[in-house]
Amino acid sequence: MYKLALLFIMIFISGIIVALTYAPISAYLTYQLVYWVNPDIRWWSASIPGLKYSFITVIIMMLALFINYKKLGHDCRFRNQKATYVMMLLPIIYMLTAPYALDPYVHDKFTSDFTKLIIICLIIYKLLNSEAALKASLYAYMAGCAYIGQQAHITGRDWQGRVEGIGMVDTGGDGNYTAAAMAPALVFCIYFFWTGTKKVKLYSALCGALIANGIVLINSRGSFLAVVGGSGLFFLLMMFSKYREQGQRAIAILLIVLGSSAGLALTDQEFWDRMSTLSEVDEGGGGAHRTDFWFAAVRAIQDYPHGLGVGGFQIVSLQYIGEEYRKAHPNGAAVHSTWFQAIGEIGYHGFITFVLLLVLTFRSAYLTKKHLIEKKEYRKYFLILTLECALISYLIAATFINRLRAEVLFWLITYIICCSNIYIRKGSQL
């Protein structure tokens, strides 16, 4: 058995044992391990048993919750966070859209997968009942992204100047999807490098370097914008927040200088050549512009107000995109935006529900920050800001790709409402 395969099996088994005997959160950390490593596609996969590792970890998460439900159920009630109810509503909307779906088989399959994801997020909400558990999850997120970055380094770019096929199971090998999930981790690296112990600082620096290098190699323009938007916003908040600590602005400037220097050292001409095409907003197929597909989705939904279902827009897209794009997309086009994906798949009512989920999530963050300011707990206040900036970072990247049902998106939402639940001590309804 290869060393990596043996290491994976050891960590996997250890995580299960710890989850059932000592720390329930270990079940979710093990789930993250399986998600990021995605063992089925690794070169050493032939050396491990052909098990459904993700399914097993979900069962362990359920068992850990059941065993500890007396405590976890009381501490983390769904009624504490209205966002949990809206999260539950989204798969119901997908189910109600099923009779109108233009591709029933595809719609039913992805509705089933999405329902499972929401159930998993609700379990995570119960398991993340302490600051230590939340931070452990963020460390695991950073480690997972660092692993992907290391895989990007080993694989190298292909003839198109991209790195494909190294990501998680729900990315389908798409480099843009993979890089989008990595961008929020850099915000976590900044926060923990600033606030952590020497060991945590070293860990954050190593993870940050691997993640940044991976994003550069993948060459995703949307993820570049996500890094600039999410990490840049966090640096601005560090420097100009009225609740900053003494010397915090100087630390932020130092981190900006160090991060920029490291970033410039990692980038190459091929990266900057691709980033220079940001203003073109082209999709690469016959010069097709993403914005044209966005407007096409809006026109399509006028004829299908109940929603087109998963994959539905691609079926009818040729009726709504311009003649100049049809030769480049003979089998139909994707909408290439999470926001317009929501409109196309589940109609305006589904889009409004998704936006409402985000509004309630950020409202929970706002009320938690207000509570922490009153208690003058500014490090915790900035942890909330970190999670907000991470979610914003992902939403920026998701604006240019179809990621409405992405695991990472709902993890980031869940982290914020968990953090709110933890710091307001699970007593108040938000």
pLDDT per residue over 226-256, tens digit each?
A: 999 999 999 999 999 888 888 888 889 988 9
pLDDT per residue over 116-146, tens digit each?
A: 999 999 999 999 989 999 999 999 999 999 9
Compute the distance between CA of residue 386 and CA of residue 188 in angstroms, rounded to an integer.
Answer: 7
**Cα–Cα separations (whole angstroms), residue 92 to 83, 87, 96, 98:** 15, 10, 6, 10
Closest CA to 33 of 185, 146, 141: 141
Most confident segment among 147-161, 294-308, 310-324, 350-364: 350-364
In this structure, of 52-61, 71-80, 167-176, 217-226, the range with the lowest mean pLDDT score is: 71-80
Compute the distance between CA of residue 323 and CA of residue 329 in angstroms, rounded to an integer.
Answer: 10
Residue pair 98/108 in contact (Cβ under 8 Å)? The answer is yes
Residue 259 confidence class, pLDDT cut points 50, 70, 90: confident
Residue 279 confidence class, pLDDT cut points 50, 70, 90: low
Compute the distance between CA of residue 423 and CA of residue 282 in angstroms, rounded to an integer.
Answer: 44
Residue 427 confidence class, pLDDT cut points 50, 70, 90: very low
Q: What is the mean pLDDT of the chain?
A: 90
Compute the distance between CA of residue 257 and CA of residue 235 in angstroms, rounded to an integer.
Answer: 11
Backbone angles phi, psi at 336, to 5 degrees: 60, 45
**Type of residue found at 36:** W
**Type of residue found at 351:** F
Beta bridge partners of 282: 289
Compute the distance between CA of residue 34 and CA of residue 52 in angstroms, rounded to an integer.
Answer: 10
**For 47, what's the count of Cα atoms within 13 Å in the CB-facing half-sphere?**
12
Compute the distance between CA of residue 343 and CA of residue 337 in angstroms, rounded to an integer.
Answer: 10
- Return the pLDDT at 18: 95
Residue 406 confidence class, pLDDT cut points 50, 70, 90: very high
Residue 193 has pLDDT above 80, yes or no: yes
Backbone angles phi, psi at 305, to 5 degrees: -65, -20
Question: If you average pLDDT over residues 48-76, what whole number do you get?
Answer: 88
Beta bridge partners of 289: 282
